[in-house]
Every structure is written in structure tokens, then in C-alpha cells.
Amino acid sequence: MKGYNTKKRTLVTGGAGFLGSHLCERLLAEGNDVICLDNFFTGTKDNIAHLYENPHFEVMRHDVTFPLYVEVDEIYNLACPASPVHYQHDPVQTTKTSVHGAINMLGLAKRTKARIFQASTSEVYGDPEVHPQPENYWGRVNPIGPRSCYDEGKRCAETLFFDYQRQHGMDIKVARIFNTYGPRMHPNDGRVVSNFIVQALKNEPITLYGDGTQTRSFCYVDDLIEGFVRLMNMPAEFTGPVNLGNPGEFTMIELAEKIKVLTGSESELIHKPLPTDDPKQRQPNISLAKETMDWAPAVTLEQGLKSTIKYFEQLLRG
């Protein structure tokens, strides 16, 4: 039911963040009425300023750890700081955002009979013993470490989503997001792509943690948002969780060297100790997404890095 309006009313929590802003843009382009909800802890108005003139776009400053009363048809729950620098700043609030936020958004979805999407994470797999990680792998997570507020918060949110579905017949979708990069990443979020690009553009030393042989898989933001929308539009019986990421695997040294070439940087590579509980390998098995949603990443690492570097060049010029 869409009231007197023929447009789908969609709520995006964390809508002013890196992923949220791209999702709001995509949903508006598809003809939705979009409520962008954010407390602006890591999100920024700069990410969504170009959308303000759209009469079907609305911004609400609100924290998901408090209940929300709006009328919506769909909810994308993206609210949560997602980089170690930000989620370890206030770990108790990070857990509250994942857990209380999930409870509040599920409560809203239950009242409005809305379909609800949870942005989960590859961090639910922890430092994995299975490689690449399929959705039926339960993970290897330290419940009391410095990363636990995020890892366990997201694991508990998944529990809540599936318990609400079993107990109340809720219409849920759960995506496990692997490393994603692109324009509008926060320049000081401590993530490897933004770190390396900013350091390279400033000709500062590029910081590698450990020996630099640990691997990550990098998905360009446009590919990820396509996965979000496809998952949300799947039949109700397909709930996920489903891995969304790029299975191409690169060592940190390979990434640093590629960014140096693309930026023409003269930065040297330096090594620092590996942070506690930092996973050594991270690569998605995306067979489920391919088979059920016909989804796979289309943007190569080089193409994506060029767009991301261009964004950071403009940002650094002010």
C-alpha cells in the first residue's frame, strides 16, 4: 500500500554515508520517494547535497537506537559506522546501533508491513578458516576483542532479523557486504583503499600493516548497489543471507603498487604491526548471488580505482 501516492516510499538508514548516499541516488532514479535517515556521525551532508532539490527526497536527522515513526513500504537498514577507526571510537554505541537499531527498524517494518533489508558484513565470518567464505560458514569471531562491537553487533542483528521472520512472518533480506570502495568514501576512515589513495596523492609513505601479504577483495560501489536492489526485489522466500562482493583477491602490496602507478605517486611503502584480530584473508564465494540473482561485479579494480582517485583528487583540492 502506498497511500495516495503511486511511488514506493523507501527509508534508507545511514543514508548520508558512503553506501547510503549511492543507494539514495539509485532509488530516486528508479522513481521512489526516499527518506534518508542519518545521525551524521560518519555520514555527511556533502554526500547527499546534490539530491536536496529532488522533491521526492527527504532528510531526517535521527539515531536508529531510538524508535522511529514514519510510513514506508521498504526499509534499507545501513546505519552503523563500518570502519575500525569509527566503530572503535565508541564501541558501546556501535553495538547499540547494530542491535537496538535492528530492533527499532524491525519494529517499524512489522507495524508498516514493510519489506526490510539488513546491511550485514563479511566481518560475521571473522578471521576465517574456510576460504573463500560461503554463506553456510558460521565464522570464527573473537567475542571480546576490539573489533567485537562491530562483528558481534552485526551477527546479533542477523539473529534478530531471522527471529523476527520466524516469529512474526516478516519479509526480510540480509546481505553480507565485503570490502567496497568508490567515490564518497570517508578520507579518514582508516580503510585500506582510502588510506592508500590519500597517502599516494600526498606523496606520503603508504602504510602497510604486517608484511602486506594479507588479502582483500574489493567491490566497486556501483556493483554493490546493484546487488542491494536485486536482492530487495527478489521473491519473499529468498531471504539471504547472501554474499555481495568481488571475488578478485589482491594482497595489500599489490593494491599499494597499483595505486602508486595510477596516481603517479613517489610514495614509499612502510610496514607497521598488524592490528589485533585483523583477518589475513577475505574473499567472498558469490555462487549464491550468481545463481539466484544473476548478480556478479562488472567493474574491474583498475576502472574503479580511477574513479575513486578522481574523487579524492577533487576532495583534497578543496
Return d(Cα 99, Cα 103) in angstroms, integer: 6
236-283: pLDDT as tens digits = 999 999 999 999 999 999 999 999 999 999 999 999 987 776 677 788
**What is this structure's pTM?**
0.94
CA distances from 284 to 19, 68, 167, 178, 291 (A): 19, 34, 30, 7, 14
Q: Supply 310's cell numbers.
A: 578522481
107-154: pLDDT as tens digits = 999 999 999 999 999 999 998 899 899 999 999 999 999 999 999 999
CA distances from 138 to 22, 124, 129, 141 (A): 30, 8, 10, 9
Q: Supply 142's cell numbers.
A: 573473537
By CB neighbour count within 10 A (0-12 exposed, 13-18 middle, 19+ buried), where does 91 fall?
middle
| From 150, 164, 181, 220, active-site residue | 150
**Nearest residue to 8 (alpha-carbon basis) of 73, 55, 54:** 73
Q: Is 181 a catalytic residue?
A: no
The topology (CATH level 3) of 9-178+220-246+283-297 is Rossmann fold (3.40.50)
278-315: pLDDT as tens digits = 677 788 999 999 999 999 999 999 999 999 999 999 99
What angle, 0 to 180 degrees and rounded to 10, lies between the N-to-C axes of helices 252-263 and 301-317?
Answer: 60
Element containing residue 208 per DSSP (H, E): strand 206-209
Q: Could you state, in order of their start, the residue ranges of all structural domains in the chain? A: 9-178+220-246+283-297
Find out whether 22 and 225 touch, Cβ atoms under 8 Å: yes
